[in-house]
A and B are shown apart, each in its own frame.
Chain A
Amino acid sequence: MFGRFTDPAAGAFSALQNEPIVLYTVSVVLVLGFLLLVAITFLGWWGVLWRNWITTVDHKRIGIMYIVLALVMLVRGFSDAIMMRMHQAMALGGENAGYLLPDHYDQIFTAHGTIMIFFMATPLLFGLFNYVVPLQIGARDVAFPFLNNLGFWITFAGAVLINISLGIGNFGRVGWLAYPPLSELAGSPDTGVDYYLWSLQLSGIATTMGAVNFVATIVKMRAPGMTMMKMPVFCWTTLVSNVLILMIYPVLTVALALLVCDRYLGMHFFTNDGGGNPMTWINYVWIFGHPEVYVLVLPAFGILSEVVPTFSSKRLFGYSSMVGAVLVILVLSFLVWAHHFFTMGGGVAVNTFFSIATMIIAVPTGVKVFNWLFTMYKGRVRLEPPMLWCLGMMFTFVGGGLTGVMLSITPADWQFHNSLFLVAHFHHTIIGGVVFGYLAGLVYWFPKAFGVKLNHKLGVASFWCWFVGFYLAFFPLYILGLMGATRRLQHYMEPSWQPYFIVAMVGAFIIGIGILLTVLQLLLVISYGIRHKGKLPVHENDPWGDARTLEWSISSPPPSYNFARIPTVKTVDAYWAMKVGSNKRKAGSFAKIHMPSNTSAGFWAGILMLILGFALVWHLWWLVIISFIATIAVIIIHSFTGNHDGYYIPATEVQETEDRFAAYLEAEGIKA
């Protein structure tokens, strides 16, 4: 009846009882959560929250929710990172030297990696896809709005499940890719790996749904006249990223399912006995894992391909070679996975092949950086915060690529494998490439979504904190790796290593200040929103100036229907062509617009899947059956009874909205 709650090996409440850090964190989170609920009730916001956000199928709102989720998980993942840096700065001399025992420390580094990749980077990605892609291709929504909503709530369920592991039970102590045999029942008898498995399954299902959505949207819903080669590069990278997801997430799903079979049904896919082979798991997860990092970085490349031309007031250099490079990366990313285990003893042929393939993939990546540089060349560069992030990305990412090529040389990798050199390399490319790129995109598209820019001074300060903090935090790790330090060490015995760990810790704190400054920026905007009682005033369509793509042709924030009239596209940089061709903003004869209806089925399905995941972790079989049947029932009921007819926005309302915007533009003296 109570499943593993009665199993002492699972230690359901031992973390809360024995670890003060866990107890305090959980208490603070619960108190803050409670206060938030009280505040929402007091302000009478439940109705608005339900109608406008929880049940929405509008891609713009779902995009914002994804990004909010990602930012909250960024704070969680970053706290794990700060704890690790602080501990390692102290951990000279033995198990008790730092403030974290191996039991706890090992959970922290596992959670840090898992959360940052699956619950921070991926939702942030999907948030940006959701918000920007339909606007850039001149569409009114994504291809499958309900699926979009469902995908968000399932991601939410996965994120909540992984956070529950902090207080109830524990998280895995296996690293973010949970290699067996350590992650089998023999190596990890408690609930940690189960939390890992089920929250990743939930995240994987949602991500796959989202990928289906975006591939369909980009392939089928582009504005008339927008051929594939007239699409913005961000849409290209979104398309390729989502195609990659469709190809690799099934592999992850199957691998996780096989490990579930091992742990729940006593099978022997990856065990040491019964014919199991752990090497298979390693191959599966890296066939997934390597393209996964390209899934994360390609959209960051796409963002730069939008931001750099805008802030250089110049067209993107080499559009065709950008597209070609992205497609080459799509294919090559499947040919490099074994470089993650050159040290497994694969033999000369295997190691050579993967080494050369890995080096080859550096070529299109380098070409993209050159393309951005040549976009800036003979342009008029404006150093607004989004452009600062782009410059920071270009400057830093090439360094990450340098160490990547060094690692791709097999015999050299035999000295780097699993050392802090490797850790520094992948953070170099992930922070320098992915995070800086996404932050550029967030700051760039923020005024489109909310009508106001984030505070300029805080934005510049935040960038410099991230930039300086990153170098301070990770360059010592390169040197430590060369000194023989492996990753995931809970303590070390060499006094000469400690100064480097201390410098790294200082760097991490500086990054933390950068994050705080971003949070401050957001708080300022939230107070602006509250002052306007949630009804954000509509501002001009092109606040940065010199924008080139279609999303900048509509108001900020856009109306719920996006485009009153779907534009006809003739060239790349459709909005720029409209400006140059002195298109007049359409004034009248709008038609009524068909919109999809809200639905609560996605929310309920998400909650039920959260319960399902929790029940599976704790072996509450009765609850598993109930929640599983209920989830399927909710989806089926929605299929049959959900309001699929949608509703119409009458032409008069469209006319009013457009007139109001035209009047605003005239009052401000802005040409459309």
Chain B
Amino acid sequence: MRLERQEAFCFFQCKSNGYPHTKYALHMGRQVRMKNLKKILDIAGVLTLILLLSGCDIAVLNPAGLVAYAQRDLIVISFGLMLCIVIPVMIAVVFFAIKYRASNQDAKYLPDWGKSHKVEMFMWGIPICMVTVLAVMSAYFTHRYEPSRPLDPAIAGDEAPLRIDVVALDWKWLFIYPEYGIATINEIYAPTGRQIALQLTAQDSINAFWVPKLGTVLYAMPQMNAKLHLLSGEDGRFPGVSANYSGDGFSGMRFSWNSVSRGEFDNWIGRVRRSSGKLDRSAYMALAQKSKDNPVAYFSGVDEELYYRVVNRCVADGSKCNEDLMRLAAAKSLWGELCSVFDPDVTGID
């Protein structure tokens, strides 16, 4: 066709008066249909391939912790609900482009139709309903799984939680067990089925404590004491990482959370107690030096008040504790009082 030849050589000045020649348009229409189908098949194929490759463990969708179960449910439900809106929209984009293409003279053409109250009601109404449902879900679960609050005793039981104090250093994790007077680098052992109450702080940079199988990232920040409650429902060894970039050695900042039976846990405590390391203030200052890819290490003795000193930034000899500075400021002025936050949970060994 003359026009098709023109089209082929038409490099720059492709004149278009807006309404393409019918034959050319029909040819384009067929091409478009094929292209769109091909596009859908391509995407579907790729996604299937990807999902097939996942014979692997997708931690967030296959959790082991109480909090993570709820989070997985939330993720799956919200994904499904949103798909109910998104899939029709995606289909409509393709469908409208095909059905109302310029070459399709059969389709109705309403060039000036731009207002419809019915359509507007749906357009605003459906997203509003969806958002309402999701908002209620979010509010409920945010309340229920607030990290600083202990987990629901109906599920977690009445037993007092096991306390672990966590310090994020450059670039390793220090775990202090205040009830046992021991500490480790990059290794947590915890009894399955018992609630764990973690307190998080950091020495130099903002980090984030994350065990994907157990749920809830929480920032570990210098000067701050963040509280996190987790509970594992299964035995296993779960990888843990830092979820906030903190410098060169960040990628090596991994630890393992080993959820074991009570007997195993007591054995482990015994093993740690038999090691020779002692974590006093000077050992801590040495630990705080930058190092990467630290192997697991044990400390059979931990200085009382060490965690308190880390949070209050007075581990080094001669440094002033933030709490003391805050008490002075609070005594001096109202502003000082307003700016002072005292956390009675920040203590050392009981």
Contacts and interface: CB of A to CB of B under 8 A. Distances in A.
B89 A411 contact: no
A418 B14 CA distance: 47
Contacts of B37: none
Interface stretch (B124-132, B154-162, B268-276): B124-132
Nearest to A413: B217
**Most chain-A CB neighbours within 10 Å: which of B108, B111, B112?**
B111
A308 to B, nearest CB: 10
Contact of B204 (A272, A317, A416, A546): A272
Contact of B39 (A366, A467, A482): A467
A178 to B, nearest CB: 11
A378 interface: yes
A314 B110 contact: yes
Contacts of B34: none
A542 B43 CA distance: 36
Nearest to B60: A482
A427 to B, nearest CB: 16
B26 to A, nearest CB: 13
Interface stretch (A72-80, A487-495, A641-649): A487-495
Interface stretch (B174-182, B188-196, B248-256, B300-308): B248-256
A418 B124 contact: no
Given A359-B134, A380-B109, A399 B141 contact: no
Interface in A438-497: 452-453, 455-456, 464, 467-468, 471-472, 475-476, 479, 481-484, 486-494, 496
B17 to A, nearest CB: 6
A412 B127 contact: no
**Most chain-A CB neighbours within 10 Å: which of B16, B68, B83, B138?**
B138
Contact of B101 (A278, A360, A382, A542): A382
Nearest to B75: A412
A395 B254 CA distance: 38
A102 B249 CA distance: 7
Given A179-B206, A181-B205, A272 B223 contact: yes
A225 B244 CA distance: 54
A347 B92 CA distance: 41
Given A378-B108, A415-B216, A482-B61, A405 B134 contact: yes
B347 interface: no
A487 B217 CA distance: 13
A314 B111 CA distance: 4
B281 interface: no
A278 B131 contact: no
Contacts of A381: 96-97, 100-102
B208 A417 contact: yes
Contact of B90 (A355, A395, A528): A395
B59 A483 contact: yes
A17 interface: no
B89 A356 contact: no
Contacts of A352: 138-139, 142-143
A651 B109 CA distance: 44
B53 to A, nearest CB: 5
A499 B339 CA distance: 50
Contacts of B10: 456
Interface residues of A, number: 120
Contact of A314 (B113, B142, B252, B293): B113
Given A313-B18, A321-B123, A419-B243, A406 B75 contact: yes
A121 B219 CA distance: 30
Nearest to A545: B18
Interface string B200-236: 0000111010101101111101111011000000000
A94 B251 CA distance: 9
Contact of A369 (B59, B89, B137, B216): B89
Given A359-B134, A544-B16, A406 B100 contact: no
Given A181-B206, A381-B101, A452-B13, A471 B20 contact: no
Contacts of B294: none
B258 interface: no
A348 B102 contact: no
B59 A406 contact: no
A363 B82 contact: no
A418 B109 CA distance: 48
Contact of A377 (B72, B100, B244): B100
A411 B243 contact: no
A175 B74 contact: no
Nearest to B223: A272
Nearest to A179: B206
B182 to A, nearest CB: 26
B251 A545 contact: no
B217 A415 contact: yes
Nearest to B10: A456
A161 B313 CA distance: 37
Contact residue range for chain B? 35 or more
A279 B68 CA distance: 26
Contacts of A418: 208, 217, 243-245
Contacts of A468: 39, 42-43
A409 to B, nearest CB: 4
B208 A367 contact: no
A550 B339 CA distance: 57
Interface in B310-349: 313, 325
Interface stretch (A204-212, A252-260, A286-294, A338-346): A338-346
Contacts of B12: 452-453, 455, 524-525, 528
B58 interface: yes
Contacts of A528: 12
A542 B247 CA distance: 54
Contacts of B289: none
Nearest to A480: B58
B261 interface: no
A182 B141 contact: no
A483 B46 contact: no
Nearest to A277: B223
Contacts of B53: 499-500
Contacts of A160: none
Interface string A312-348: 1111111101000000000000000000010111011
Given A318-B114, A379-B100, A412-B74, A356 B135 contact: yes
Contacts of A401: 86
B61 A345 contact: no
Nearest to A414: B216
B93 interface: yes
Given A348-B142, A369-B89, A483-B58, A376 B96 contact: yes
B131 A482 contact: no
Contacts of B222: 181, 272, 278
A628 interface: no
B241 A484 contact: yes
Contacts of A376: 96-97, 100
A391 B97 contact: yes
A314 B254 CA distance: 57
A272 B316 CA distance: 14
A449 to B, nearest CB: 14
Interface in A265-287: 272-273, 275, 277-279
B18 A317 contact: no
B113 A380 contact: no
B119 interface: yes
B145 interface: yes
A604 interface: no
A371 interface: yes
A366 B85 contact: yes
Contact of A484 (B59, B127, B146): B59
Q: Sorted from nearest, which 3 A-B pairs have the closest CB atoms?
A: A545-B18, A484-B212, A496-B56
Given A277-B223, A468-B39, 20 more contacts: A314-B110, A352-B138, A356-B135, A363-B131, A370-B119, A373-B93, A380-B111, A382-B18, A384-B16, A395-B90, A398-B85, A406-B75, A406-B79, A408-B138, A414-B215, A418-B245, A475-B46, A544-B16, A545-B18, A545-B19
7 contacts: A102-B248, A378-B107, A384-B16, A402-B83, A481-B60, A524-B11, A542-B18
